[in-house]
Chain A
Amino acid sequence: MRRHLVTALLVLAVVALFATPLLLDGASEYAGTDSQATELIEESDAGYEPWFESVFSPGSSEIESGLFALQAALGGGVLGYVLGRLKGRRTAEQTARRTAERTGRQAAETAATPPATP
């Protein structure tokens, strides 16, 4: 029970950590730090010209966010698969141990009581 309380509190803390800025300052644009850095370079080092373009740029922000979602989905899928397998393995081990204990006890009982038939 206590274990699950801790889990819930941890999840809550993570959510609160990222919901707080949105609640405090919903008007902000939350621009990426990479584009902010790019702007800084353009300000301070005005003569600098980027000398290489991305080999492929997603055509629109929708496509870009879709590709980011794809990346997260791939990672989340694999992570879920691994955790599911590990959890299943442990459950199977527990079941096997319990079955072994039960059959062991039954074997001991049948050995203790001699068969009724002559």
Chain B
Amino acid sequence: MHIAEGFLPPAHAIGWTIAAAPFVVHGARAVAKEVRENPESTLLLGAAGAFTFVLSAIKLPSITGSSSHPTGTGLGAVLFRPPVMALLGTVVLLFQALLLAHGGLTTLGANAFSMAVIGPWAGYAAYRLVRRSGGGLLPGVFAAMAVADLATYVTTALQLAWAHPDAASGFGGAAAKFLSVFAFTQVPLAIGEGLLGVLLFRVLVVNARPELERLGVLRRTPEPDQAPVPEATPGAER
């Protein structure tokens, strides 16, 4: 979960805010451009934002005996490329910082950097890696979701270790400690998030084929009218 309000020293708080700001501004421009040039993308943009909204609201138990929540940023990264998620993820973080006392305003920069910048980019890299090595769409989506989730919390742990190095063992010791809290707890959540992403994409592949083809997620079918989509036959729906 995110770094609590006030738990980063001022220098770190300001530093991370400056680091995250260009990504968020760039993301806002990417969203505006997408909506202007492809108004039909608005629906899927809404879906990507909504997915992050839902998933980061649900705290789930993990085998480590603690709980955390997924991030859901991998979906938008696969659909619209990572910059879009820099804005959408930050909106979610701002909502939680203002209304839920979860995360915070002084830690918004650091949390945005981990959840809205590192997470989506790491997830997108994993997706591209799977696709380029011949993996299908759904394995790619699974990798994107799981890696985006894990990378977010590994980053959070490292940010905390940097701000609060251990008195005896320094940064390394603190990193090991924070990673043992954040990263291990997150493993089953990342797997669950990957499965949820696959579930959602199975629906999108059937119902949002034109958008996915335009976004380059699916290859264009040679004859869209005669495309032998098995699900297209009536009766197969139930």
A residues in contact (CB < 8 Å) with B: 1, 3, 6-7, 10-11, 13-14, 17-18, 20-22, 24-25, 28-38, 40-41, 44-45, 48, 50-58, 64, 67-69, 71-72, 74-79, 81-83, 85-87, 89-90, 94
Contacts and interface: CB of A to CB of B under 8 A. Distances in A.
B160 A33 contact: no
Nearest to B238: A4
Interface of B: 1-7, 9-10, 43-44, 46-47, 49-63, 65-68, 95-106, 153, 160, 164, 166-167, 174, 177-178, 181-182, 185-186, 188, 191-192, 195-196, 198-199, 202-204, 206-208, 230-232, 234, 236
B148 to A, nearest CB: 17
Per CB-CB distance, the 8 closest pairs between chain A and chain B, nearest first, are A75-B53, A50-B6, A75-B54, A34-B1, A78-B50, A28-B65, A71-B57, A72-B57
Given A13-B195, A34-B3, 13 more contacts: A18-B61, A20-B63, A28-B61, A33-B1, A33-B67, A37-B3, A37-B4, A37-B178, A40-B178, A54-B5, A75-B54, A75-B55, A90-B207
B5 A52 contact: yes
B145 to A, nearest CB: 12
A64 B57 CA distance: 11
A81 B49 CA distance: 13
A17 B58 CA distance: 14
Contact of A74 (B53, B55, B66, B203): B53
A43 to B, nearest CB: 9
Contact of B106 (A40, A48, A52): A52
A36 B183 CA distance: 13
8 contacts: A30-B65, A33-B181, A33-B185, A34-B4, A48-B9, A52-B105, A75-B55, A78-B47
Contacts of B50: 74-79, 82
Given A21-B61, A37-B4, A64-B101, A31 B182 contact: no
A30 B66 contact: yes
Contacts of A31: 66-67
Nearest to A43: B177
Majority secondary structure of chain A interface residues (helix, strand, loop or mixed): helix
A30 B60 CA distance: 9
B7 A38 contact: yes
B67 A30 contact: yes
A44 B206 contact: no
B1 to A, nearest CB: 4
Contacts of A44: 164, 166-167, 174, 177
Contacts of A36: 66, 181
Given A36-B181, A40-B181, A71-B53, A54 B43 contact: no
Contact of B54 (A28, A51, A79): A79
A35 B99 CA distance: 18
A23 B231 CA distance: 37
Contacts of A55: 97-98, 105
B3 to A, nearest CB: 7
A82 to B, nearest CB: 4
A17 B192 contact: yes
B96 A71 contact: yes
Most chain A C-beta atoms within 10 Å of own C-beta, residue among B62, B99, B153, B178: B99
